[in-house]
């Protein structure tokens, strides 16, 4: 294990040097490496899983900031090139933000808050929008939701899944992705037993299939060319999607209006481990992306589970419809294996780290086996770099 960590550290150092050079050369992360958009080109979308900074992760961000405040940018530097080069980049924020002095984090069903500087790290990495509907959305009541969304607004990161007002809850998050407009919707299966108040029932989007489909159709009427749905669902610590996930995936992807699917991509979180990708009724479903940032993870028996630090970055290439009013089709589906190195406090692009000499082939192969476990390879899913 020590030798492995040393190899990871060497690889991380090399990746950070390359990433820093990239950032220095391109001050605007979303401007790097993009060709001038031709009239009929498509777009690329990347999606990462939970941003879940436990106490040790927060301590690392404080160290990276020189002991004053928090800096999450170095933590994400290795994946910044992948994220920033996409036309649209999405993530999932598991915790609400505390005030400017917040350091408290916890796991399980206890209250969970993160420093607001996380938002600056996400923006610098190139994330455009993040889902905020999670089991921890109400940990600090609606005050926590307002603080979180205000912080994201100041950082220039869009959001969906929680709201400060009824009007905001009814407003579709429409994002520009190259020539297309993409709607980003988000829902959570639960809020850890914390109820929504009768006065603010709109504060968190709860997962209800009828609600999801109604919102997807409303997004299409609002001008969305593609509809992407982020779902916090499934069983924590489990690589296989559970029966409820499988049934809901079939229901959501089967829905059509005038022959056109209502939903174009489903992105899952909550398992805190990578889960399978699968094409269901012609639509790509990621049952679980895993956690991009997280601390030590444990299984139900209380044993540390290194698999909880593995994840994927999904990347999907969409092309315009062949006829007006048709579907934007995914012509290329990829997954990029990642891990969060707890010792280094860094997200690691596994393939790049292997290229730098780290012995991570076991982690890569474990991720690949899980991701392809429901036959996605036959539908064209490949491991990307």
Query: Which of 365, 362, 369, 370 has its CA nearest to residue 4?
Result: 362
Please name every residue paired with 77 in a beta bridge, in sequence order, or none if there are none: none
| Helix, coil or strand: residue 253 | helix
Please name every residue paired with 363 in a beta bridge, in sequence order, or none if there are none: none
Give the dihedral of Cα atoms 72, 74, 77, 80; nearest 10 deg: 30
Cβ distance 267 to 253 under 8 Å? no
Is the pLDDT at 297 greater than 80? The verdict is no
The residues spanned by each domain of the chain are 2-383
pLDDT per residue over 299-309, tens digit each? 666 666 667 79
Is the pLDDT at 133 greater than 70? The verdict is yes
- Predicted local confidence at residue 221, as pLDDT: 97
Q: What is the pTM of this model?
A: 0.88
Burial class (CB in 10 A: 0-12, 13-18, 19+), 218: middle
Give the dihedral of Cα atoms 373, 375, 377, 380; nearest 10 deg: -140
Q: Provide mean pLDDT across the span 190-219.
A: 97
- pLDDT bin (cut points 50, 70, 90) of residue 324 is confident
User: Which token pair is 262?
Assistant: 């209502």
Query: Which of 46, 70, 50, 48 has its CA nearest to residue 59?
Result: 70
Residue with tokens 């520009």: 176
User: Which token pair is 15?
Assistant: 């990746």
Q: Please provide the average confidence, as pLDDT, over all residues in the chain.
A: 89
Q: At what angle do helices 243-254 and 209-221 cross, to 10 degrees?
A: 30
Residue with tokens 């889960």: 275
In the chain, how long is the greatest CA-to-CA distance? 58
Is the pLDDT at 222 greater than 50? The verdict is yes
- Predicted local confidence at residue 296, as pLDDT: 76
Cβ distance 85 to 104 under 8 Å? no
Tell me how far the alpha carbon of residue 304 is from its chain's centroid: 23
- pLDDT bin (cut points 50, 70, 90) of residue 268 is very high
Q: Provide mean pLDDT across the span 228-232.
A: 98
- pLDDT bin (cut points 50, 70, 90) of residue 86 is very high
Burial class (CB in 10 A: 0-12, 13-18, 19+), 385: exposed
Q: Which helix (H) or strand (E) holds 177?
A: strand 174-177
Determine the Cα–Cα distance for residues 103 and 79; give it in Å rounded to an integer: 25
User: Which token pair is 308?
Assistant: 């909880």
Q: Provide mean pLDDT across the span 172-196.
A: 97
pLDDT per residue over 103-119, tens digit each? 444 444 456 899 999 99
Check the CA dihedral 356-359-299-371 and report its sign: positive
Q: Provide mean pLDDT across the span 251-272.
A: 97
Cβ distance 129 to 159 under 8 Å? yes
Cβ distance 17 to 59 under 8 Å? no
Is the pLDDT at 202 greater than 80? The verdict is yes
Give the dihedral of Cα atoms 39, 315, 84, 64; nearest 10 deg: 170
Determine the Cα–Cα distance for residues 337 and 370; give it in Å rounded to an integer: 11
Determine the Cα–Cα distance for residues 358 and 13; give it in Å rounded to an integer: 11
pLDDT per residue over 28-48, tens digit each? 445 545 554 444 689 999 999
User: Which token pair is 119?
Assistant: 């938002």
**Which superfamily does 2-383 belong to?**
Metallo-dependent phosphatases (3.60.21.10)
């Amino acid at each position: 294990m020590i030798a492995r960590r040393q190899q990871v550290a060497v690889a991380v150092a090399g990746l950070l040097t390359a990433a820093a050079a990239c950032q220095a050369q391109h001050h605007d992360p979303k401007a790097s490496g993009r060709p001038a958009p031709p009239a009929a080109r498509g777009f690329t979308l990347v999606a990462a899983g939970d941003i879940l900074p436990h106490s040790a992760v927060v301590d690392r961000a404080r160290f990276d900031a020189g002991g004053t405040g928090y800096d999450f940018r170095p933590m994400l530097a290795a994946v910044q090139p992948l994220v920033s080069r996409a036309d649209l980049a999405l993530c999932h924020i598991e915790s609400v933000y505390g005030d400017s002095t917040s350091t408290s984090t916890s796991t399980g069903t206890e209250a969970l808050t993160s420093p607001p500087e996380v938002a600056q790290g996400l923006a610098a990495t190139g994330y455009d929008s993040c889902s905020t509907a999670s089991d921890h959305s109400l940990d600090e009541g609606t005050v926590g939701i307002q603080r979180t969304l205000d912080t994201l607004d100041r950082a220039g990161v869009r959001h969906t899944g929680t709201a400060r007002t009824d009007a905001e809850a009814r407003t579709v998050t429409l994002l520009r992705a190259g020539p297309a407009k993409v709607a980003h919707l988000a829902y959570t299966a639960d809020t850890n037993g914390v109820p929504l108040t009768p006065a603010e029932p709109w504060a968190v989007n709860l997962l209800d299939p009828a609600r999801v489909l109604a919102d997807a159709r409303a997004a299409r009427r609002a001008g969305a060319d593609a509809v992407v749905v982020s779902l916090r669902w499934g069983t924590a610590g489990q690589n296989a999607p559970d029966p409820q996930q499988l049934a809901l995936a079939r229901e959501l992807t089967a829905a059509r209006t005038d022959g056109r699917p209502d939903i174009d991509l489903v992105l899952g979180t909550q398992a805190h481990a990578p889960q399978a990708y699968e094409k269901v009724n012609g639509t790509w479903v990621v049952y679980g992306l895993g956690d991009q940032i997280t601390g030590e993870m444990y299984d139900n028996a209380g044993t540390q589970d290194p698999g909880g630090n593995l994840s994927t970055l999904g990347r999907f290439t969409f092309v315009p419809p062949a006829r007006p009013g048709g579907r934007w089709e995914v012509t290329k589906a990829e997954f990029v294996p990642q891990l969060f190195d707890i010792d280094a406090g860094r997200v690691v692009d596994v393939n790049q780290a292997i290229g730098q000499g780290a012995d991570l082939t076991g982690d890569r192969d474990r991720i690949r086996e899980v991701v392809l476990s429901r036959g996605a390879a036959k539908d064209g899913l490949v491991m990307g770099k």
